Amino acid sequence: MRLSVAGAALALLLPTLPAQAAVPAGAVAVAPAGTVSDPAASVDPLIGSARDGNTWPGAVRPFGMISWSPTSTRGDQTSTGAANGYQYDVTRVRGFSLTHVNGAGCNPGAAGDVPIMPYAGTVDSSPTADTTDAKYASNFSHANERAVPGRYTVKLDNGVTTDLAVTTRAGVGEFAFPADQAANLLFRTSNSLNGSEDAEISIDAAGRKVTGSVLTGAFCGRRANGGVNNRKSYYRLYFTASFDQPVVATGTWKDATLTPGSTRATGGEGYATGADRAGKGSGGYVTFAPGAKVRMRLGISYVSLAGAERNLATEVQPKATADRLAADGYRQWKNELKDIRITGGTDAQRTTFYTALYHAYLQPNIFNDVDGRYLGSDRRIHRLAPGQRAQYGTFSGWDQYRAHIQLLALLKPDIAGDFAQSLYQFAQQNNGIWDRWLHNNGPTHVMTGDPAAPTLATFAAMGVRNFDTSGAFASLLRQATVQNAEAENDGGCPGQCTGQRPALNTYLAKHYAPQDACHCWGGAAETLENSLADFSLGQWAQRLGRKDVATTMSDRGTWWKNTFDPAVGYQRARKADGTWQPGFTPSTDVGFAQGSSATYTWMVPQDVSGLAAAMNGNAVQRLDAFFHDEAGNWAVRGGSPLRYDPTNEPGLHTPWLYNGLGQAWKTQATTREIVDTVYGVGPAGLPGNDDLGTLSAWYVFAAIGLFPQTPGRAELLVGSPLFPKVELERSNGVRLTIEAPGTSDTNQYVESLSLNGRPRAESWLPESFITRGGHLTARMSATPTTWGTPPVDH
């Protein structure tokens, strides 16, 4: 069951009960068609926690530094529940970790730092030595688990009730222990999902305090990307915790050795995943009287222990309770989610929508302390730039630039600007290299292409101004035009090249990335990614008055044609000598990154007419076959390399290509089919890993009936609005309204459209709609219509 809007206050104490299975968002009876006044009441943080969504349900504020959530175990320390430590079908907990990344698509994953485990009983052996997690972990039932925005509560089978609530950088945990056993909190300082090179803990029993830190950062198990001699991707997380109850006993451990009474421990290469480090690591515990009800105040920092203390003192008052923090956090989420106000729809549609928006607001993460200091990518301490309100960390560029960053720029242009400035500063601290996947501050080198270029170019197009636009543009242009020696000499490094444009000189000479000499994940994918990045830089250059650069980069935006093989009609890996990679089939992934040629061939949103010409006029028929099986049935749930995959990013824009091909009604039908059948409520309500909110952002756009046309531009393609009315307010005060009074699963086709009261035949909206605001009204039909002329290519 779900609590009503009227029960929002009660929801702070008894969050939403978890749904048991994914339900199509359009399959629930229609609720009263009012405007949602409390969007936070429609959020279910458990959506996406099953299957491969890799979301987590814990306590967090919008864009928060701390995210306090359970770390599950399958029964041994080498197998966590999922990439982010939690998976719905793994109902055994080994601690509650302080940091998380939403929807990372790898296992082992990222973050999951300092799991803290409430344990009832005698601590008489090293928790690290218990590699089966037989003793120092606990089962739980979802019936005893509650999650709402800003709060997470669970009663474990060991009898301990855990209640977590947070601010941006700190939190309060309340632990109620059973009366007949010793009450303990275990601090597993060396058990990050990243693994750890070093950890430390110090216990002050008289002062009722525990402090410590962990050096970690082997992102997604790629220890070699950091390593003990090259820790660019590493960070140290500091924490401080204090208690309102007396500490009656202490102890620490390192590897298999437990030392009761000890108050300090250091070292240990503990990994929550990786059998080679099972049984290693360090930590400590504090013991309270049996039956204790312990309130713990905790703060974190990536700068220093003093920074953690300052963050805690600033954000959490000495007598703050979980109730008080949770109420404040809920109000903040309620206000932030009001950026979009929807009218009508079903209960399930509203839950799916606002949970998607919630997930989109989990990243990027505030990375600076309250005093403005932050850890740079050079692993030195820096301060915010003048006028900068926050330094943000973590950038899953290859994923986010296709939907998430556009939603961020649309709704939060102020945050987008600070994020852009943050990425620029990290690049300056990293020898001018804009890494394609930052975890916190650290370059991880994973994936392919140059996603920072379309990201910042899109920000500029969508009216984001509060960053050093000239400096950032010059830096990104240099990255696209001047070979980085580190990248050129990086050798074979699929998916992990240290330079952002590996083998750039070769690319510039041949106008494509050779499969056998690109130093990249896949030559065809790299060519497509670079073509789109260069196009976006050309658009940005035009805005800056750099016509010479605009011409050059726009031309480079057409180089996708050099890996399009007309003999087969698909994108295809090509060798340095100009010959094609042998053994081609449309389902091949040779030359591509997490996708097939059948998917990547469509990755030309900047030149739809050019792609249609290359396909000899058969683009619509081929696109139809991409979304349907041989019998003509919808095939939009993934599973075939020959068809649309809603779980991964390279094809997310593909349903909207029909607009550019003159058949907008097929965009409307396709996006509505995906919205109604692929997404839903319940733990399995996401089709794949959320990738820092990217799949969720796609849903938000599709549900409001608009989608960004091309990276580097601000025009929006028109789809099929799911709700009768949607009102958006950008953080700069610009307001957008989309009305489709007759919309339903039957009436899903646009019959006519008006913008600010004037009829509009085009199936796209101009840049001014975003930058100046406007009112869009769609008249809907139960049958396909001829409305919507093709948008021009930009």
Domain count, the chain: 2
DSSP string, 652-699: TTGGGHHHHTT-HHHHHHHHHHHHHHT-EESTT-SSS--TTTHHHHHH
- Assigned token pair, 615: 């396909």
Does residue 11 lie in a domain region? no
Averaged pLDDT, groups of 10, the chain, 794 residues long = 29 33 37 79 97 92 98 74 83 95 79 95 93 91 98 98 98 97 96 84 98 86 46 86 98 96 87 59 96 98 98 97 98 98 97 98 98 96 96 96 98 98 97 92 90 98 97 97 66 50 94 95 97 98 97 98 98 98 97 96 97 96 97 92 95 97 97 97 95 97 97 98 98 98 96 98 97 98 94 66
Final residue belonging to a domain, choices 266, 300, 335: 335
Residue 135: strand, helix, or coil: coil
Instruction: Determine whether 266 is exposed, middle or buried from the number of CB atoms within 10 Å of its CB (0-12, 13-18, 19+).
Output: middle
In angstroms, the first-to-last Cα distance of the chain is 48
Based on the domain organization, do 445 and 314 belong to the same domain?
Answer: no
Biggest CA pair distance of the chain:
79
Q: Which residues lie across from 177 on neighbouring strands?
A: none
Based on the domain organization, do 433 and 326 belong to the same domain?
Answer: no
Q: Where are the alpha helices (DSSP H) in 212-346?
A: 305-315, 322-337
Q: Which residues contact 336 (CB under 8 A, 6 or more apart)?
A: 62, 361
Based on the domain organization, do 150 and 298 belong to the same domain?
Answer: yes
Based on the domain organization, do 574 and 507 belong to the same domain?
Answer: yes
Does residue 704 lie in a domain region? no
Instruction: Centre a 10 Å sphere on the Cβ of residue 380 and count the other Cβ atoms it contains.
Output: 8
Alpha carbons within 13 angstroms on the beta-carbon side of residue 283 total: 32
Does residue 84 lie in a domain region? yes
- What CATH number should be reported for the domain holding residue 272? 2.70.98.10
Based on the domain organization, do 283 and 427 belong to the same domain?
Answer: no
- What CATH number should be reported for the domain holding residue 493? 1.20.1050.60
Does residue 432 lie in a domain region? yes
Q: Which residues lie across from 169 on neighbouring strands?
A: none
Element (H, E) at 548: helix 547-556
User: How far apart (Å, rounded) are the C-alpha atoms in residues 184 and 285?
Assistant: 7
Does residue 207 lie in a domain region? yes
The residue assigned the tokens 């969007």 is: 39
Based on the domain organization, do 296 and 399 belong to the same domain?
Answer: no
Does residue 545 lie in a domain region? yes
CB 706 within 8 A of CB 699: no
Phi, psi of 156, rounded to the nearest 5 degrees: -80, 160
Strands (E), 368-449: 373-375, 381-383, 392-393, 395-396, 437-439, 442-443
Phi, psi of 761, rounded to the nearest 5 degrees: -85, -25
pLDDT at 775: 98
Query: What is the torsion angle, in degrees rounded to the nearest 10, for the CA atoms of residue 274, residue 280, residue 281 and residue 284?
Result: 130
Phi, psi of 418, rounded to the nearest 5 degrees: -65, -35
Q: Residue type at 150? A: G
Based on the domain organization, do 255 and 315 belong to the same domain?
Answer: yes
Does residue 355 lie in a domain region? no
Distances (CA, A) of 431 to 157, 479, 480: 51, 11, 14
Q: Which residues contact 154 (CB under 8 A, 6 or more apart)?
A: 70, 93, 140, 144, 145, 146, 161, 162
Query: What is the torsion angle, in degrees rounded to the nearest 10, for the CA atoms of residue 589, residue 592, residue 597 and residue 601?
Result: 170
- Assigned token pair, 408: 């961020």
Based on the domain organization, do 307 and 388 belong to the same domain?
Answer: no
- Assigned token pair, 500: 């952002």
User: How far apart (Å, rounded) are the C-alpha atoms in residues 62 and 150?
Assistant: 9
Does residue 191 lie in a domain region? yes
Based on the domain organization, do 330 and 401 belong to the same domain?
Answer: no
Q: What does the angle CA 546 – CA 549 – CA 550 come to, to the nearest 5 degrees?
A: 80
Final residue belonging to a domain, choices 275, 305, 335: 335
CB 521 within 8 A of CB 492: no
- Residue 544 belongs to what domain range? 383-583
User: How far apart (Å, rounded) are the C-alpha atoms in residues 393 and 397?
Assistant: 12
Based on the domain organization, do 301 and 446 belong to the same domain?
Answer: no
Read off the pTM: 0.94
Based on the domain organization, do 114 and 170 belong to the same domain?
Answer: yes
Based on the domain organization, do 293 and 392 belong to the same domain?
Answer: no
* Nearest one of 449, 603, 448 to 530, comparing CA atoms: 449
Final residue belonging to a domain, choices 583, 602, 624: 583
